[in-house]
Structure 1
Amino acid sequence: MKSDQELFAKGLATYQKVVAANYMAHREVHDMLRRVLLDEAADGFVFADLACGTAPRSAAALAGSNVSRYVGIDISQPSLDVAKKALAALTCPVELRCEDFVAAIDRWKGPLDVVWIGQSLHHLLAQDKVAFMRKINSLLSPGGLFLIWEPTRLEGEDRDGWMERFHQLRPDWGAISDEEFAAFESHCRASDYSETATTWIDMGRNAGFTTADELMMVPNKLARVYRFRH
């Protein structure tokens, strides 16, 4: 059997191909993130990047902003090793923590101004999503922002319907092999629990956020970005 390191390296390489080809709209999403940070984040804001991965897009979104501290959380140390290089250009202190993002937030001390999570919150079941969002809300400073980018079902669509829409993308993902696409799809079927836009927003309201709204839908209509304000 292949080692865990080999399996991780293969999966990371596939994901990096997807990012480079912009199949999941990383470019548009992080352009949106950058606009929000420049226009709405408080001066000297503390930025928590949950499930940050290798963080190149977050680094670009934060460049030239008023961020005073960056904290990246990811369960993969190899990803954090790459992230350290990607974040080196930031002028603020950078802290990288190798741990599960739920556990990290559960024991977090001190206020946060902006919390960002992309393509990871949907791994939690519905009741756990709300509990997590409630904890984030309790940590945010007044006017603080919680921004998420997550798979979103169409209204009336079930989980299998979303999966079928993802499957239909195969002809458009020419930069990866059939084996790589199958592995990506298998991960989605095993670990992804998307919600409708209405549910994502209702979850934010139930978690106590003052405002909850949708900022954008990605071009393939499989995911959206939401903003929740403390």
Structure 2
Amino acid sequence: MRLPSLGPAINCLSLPKTEFLSKEADCVDAKGLGKFFDSAWNAYRDLLVFDLMHHRDLFGILVGQVQRRFQHPVSFLDLACGDSDPARMVLGKVPVREYVGVDLAAGPLELARANLQPFGIPAEFFAQDFLEFLGETKREFDLILISYSIHHLGTFKKKEVFRLAKEKLSPQGIFVIIDGMRLAGQGRDAWLVQCFQYMEKRSEGKIPATFQVVKKHMGEADFPEEGVGYEAMGREAGFKESRLIHHDPASTFGVYLAGNGRDL
């Protein structure tokens, strides 16, 4: 039996064709990507319902890190936040004094407002490219999270995210990436095949239409680094702490953490 999707119903079989690759050939066109997630958010929600990308385990690791490092309510910047549903796993377990969500897809941001309302914390949402937001904001944050999205950028722009995140962190703040990451020595094509096989097996064939949408999107728009590559980027950006704290070799999803303070 198929589990119910959350949010407005969308016919995944009739989605419009979307071109993602920019002329730079180093990254994905941000506006095209935002339109895709606006139109296909229901397909993405299926991934969360079936936990195909290990949101529960990986966000659990994030919660543990925040609990260990902070003795005060944190300011939380959630880049590419979508509908902020995964963030609720953090907000329900650690004290947060303010939440800022940034995403190009305006539709999911409206869902995010409703999702966070029960927590009663100050929350702001910006329908904007997260790299532009990082470059423009003058605020500091204790926790900067980017989950399942930095893989849409080319290597140069990924490094720019690291540089800007370091500038916008509080003195003891942490920058966290939750995402698919290539294994050491693994090429992009091999990574895609491994992800497709893993997700198809884990979903047990219950969401074939969603799987085709996701497979097409990943083939066009996902360009992850090796997990150890993020460690190198963090060191290059000047973080005192830069480490891959979890990387599942079966699913390839992992958690990377960088910080300006001491290594815990």
Q: 2:211 aligns with which of 181, 192, 208?
A: 181
Alignment-mate amino acid for residue 88 of structure 1: Q
- Structure 1: distance between partners of 2:15 and 2:212: 18
Cα 1:162/1:117, change in 2 over 3 Å: same
Determine which of 191, 215, 227 is the counterpart of 1:197: 227
Q: Are residues 181 and 14 of structure 1, via their aligned partners in 2, closer, same or farther at CA, if it must alter by over 3 Å?
A: same
Output the TM-score relative to the length of structure 2: 0.80
Instruction: Tell me if the contact between 1:153 and 1:222 (Cα under 8 Å) persists in the aligned partners.
Output: yes
Query: What is the distance in 2 between the residues matched to 1:225 and 1:139?
Result: 20
1:106–1:135: 8 Å Cα contact kept in structure 2? yes
Residue 32 (1) aligns with residue 58 (2): no
Deviations 1:124-153 (A, max 9, x none): 111111111111101111111001112211
Q: Deviations over 1:164-212 (max 9, x none)?
A: 11222323322311x3212211111111111112111001110111111
* Aligned length in residues: 229
- Structure 1 residue ranges (4+ consecutive) displaced by more than 6 angstroms after TM superposition: 1-7
Match of 2:89 in 1: 60
Q: Give the aligned partner of residue 222 of structure 1.
A: 252
The answer (yes or no) to whether the contact 2:195–2:251 under 8 Å persists in 1 is no
Q: Secondary structure at the match of 2:66?
A: helix
Secondary structure of the 2:179 match is strand
RMSD: 2.2
Please identify which structure carries the higher strand content. Answer: 1
Deviation at residue 90 of structure 1 after TM alignment: 2.0
Instruction: Specify which of 172, 182, 192 is matched with residue 153 of structure 1.
Output: 182
Residue in 1 aligned with 2:239?
209
User: Following the alignment from structure 2 to structure 1, what is the Cα–Cα distance between the partners of residues 53 and 229?
Assistant: 22
- 1:87 & 1:186 partners in 2: Cα distance? 31
- Aligned position for 1:48: 77
> Residue 25 of structure 1: CA displacement?
0.6
User: How far off its partner does 1:220 sit?
Assistant: 3.3
| 1:127 pairs with 2:151 | no
- Amino acid in structure 1 at the alignment position of 2:233: M
Identical columns (%): 27
Q: Could you tell me whether the CA contact under 8 Å between 2:63 and 2:93 is conserved in 1?
A: no
CA 13–156 in structure 1, closer or farther in 2 if over 3 Å, else same:
same
Q: Does the residue aligned with 2:72 lie in a helix, a strand or coil? A: coil
Query: How far off is 1:219 after superposition?
Result: 6.9
2-structure distance, mates of 1:53, 1:73: 8
Change (3 A) 1:114 1:42: farther
| Secondary structure of 2:234 counterpart | helix
User: 1:40/1:171 Cα in 2 relative to 1: closer, same or farther (>3 Å)?
Assistant: same
| Aligned counterpart for 2:130 among listed residues 101, 116, 124 | 101
Q: 1:10-25 maps to which residues of 2 (within 5 A)?
A: 11-25=40-54
Contact 2:35 2:105 (C-alpha < 8 Å) held by counterparts: no
Q: 1:218 Cα shift?
A: 3.9
- Residue 110 of structure 1 is aligned with which of 139, 147, 166? 139
Q: Which residue of 2 aligns with 1:78?
A: 107
Cα shift readout 1:83-113 (whole Å, capped 9, x = no counterpart): 1111112232111111111111110112111
Higher deviation after alignment, 5-14 or 101-110: 5-14
Q: Which range moves more in the overlay, 89-98 or 214-223? A: 214-223
Contact 1:41–1:114 under 8 Å retained in 2: no
